[in-house]
Amino acid sequence: MVTNLASFADVSAPRDVLLNLVAALMGFLISQFWRVARLRLSFRGLRGFWGVYAGKCGVVVFGRLEAQLLLPSSGLVQMLDDVIIEGRHEEAAARLAAYLVQQENSGLIGVADLEAYAYIIARLDEINLSSPSSYALSRPTGAIDSTTNLVLIGGEDVNPETKAWMDRLRCTYRNTIVGEKNSISDSRYEQLVPHRESLDGASGGSQVIDYGVIVWAPEERSGEGRPSVLILAGAQGLGTLAAAKATFGQQHELLRRQRTYRYGFECVVRCVREFSATEALMSEKVDVFWPKALPPS
């Protein structure tokens, strides 16, 4: 009897090992299948949103990085004129330098715009979509008349096409200068979205909040033979980059808005970043809110 039990144990042990290996393999295959299915679902949404702007279907337009574009919007020109007329040239140069440094830090000169463009190109490559062509503008053109779909990067201060298309589409979320800081105003409800906010975080760290705007208009809204338009515009800081990230992280929400709003929509983007006491980035969250339908033509 003992011999028979030992023989049975000798036979069942390899079988149990084999069953465990098969079960582990099946679990691995199921998990991989589920991961691929989720990726395909995510890519399907991304390709659905970005497919019309990829490759030869689209063109990216951003503002040429020229500081003089920013000066008229801040009231700085009048102040510089007064100081120069009084002969205080060194003071004028110092104030101008301080102002340009402030604008560079705010992202208005185009730091976040270029980061947004690089981010878009990298993400399109991940989902096997070709990069659209791109070029920069230094002067207004009255809204590009093109049959190619447009992605406009940057706020009204630096991208003349952003301003031209926001005027054409009658957008209500617009860049507004408040105390020499670029903010976002809601002209319909007379609300003001805060500009960049820097708050105290946990454990001696900090929290930085940036805001931007996404505007989307279909071909039917832009006019017969006119392109579909996607505007990614920031206020201060990394608002433009946050808008670009939202189109990849919140694509299902944006696609739902596309189906809901026949003539297009506009919404506000918020990016909340948490930093440690050593200024290391701990977390980042991007979300969209306050969606509104664009008015019909």
* Residue 236 burial (C-beta neighbours within 10 Å; 0-12, 13-18, 19+): buried
pLDDT digits over 129-141, tens only? 888 877 666 555 5
pLDDT-derived band at 183, boundaries 50, 70, 90 = confident
pLDDT-derived band at 76, boundaries 50, 70, 90 = low
Mean pLDDT of all residues in 252-266: 89
Confidence (pLDDT) at 114: 80
DSSP string, 207-242: EEEEEEEEEEE-HHHH-TTPPPEEEEEESSTTHHHH
Tell which wins on pLDDT, 6 or 297: 297
What does each C-alpha distance from 6 to 16, 19, 20, 79, 261 come to in angstroms? 15, 20, 21, 98, 74
* Helix H or strand E encompassing 275: strand 265-275
Residue with tokens 């007064």: 82
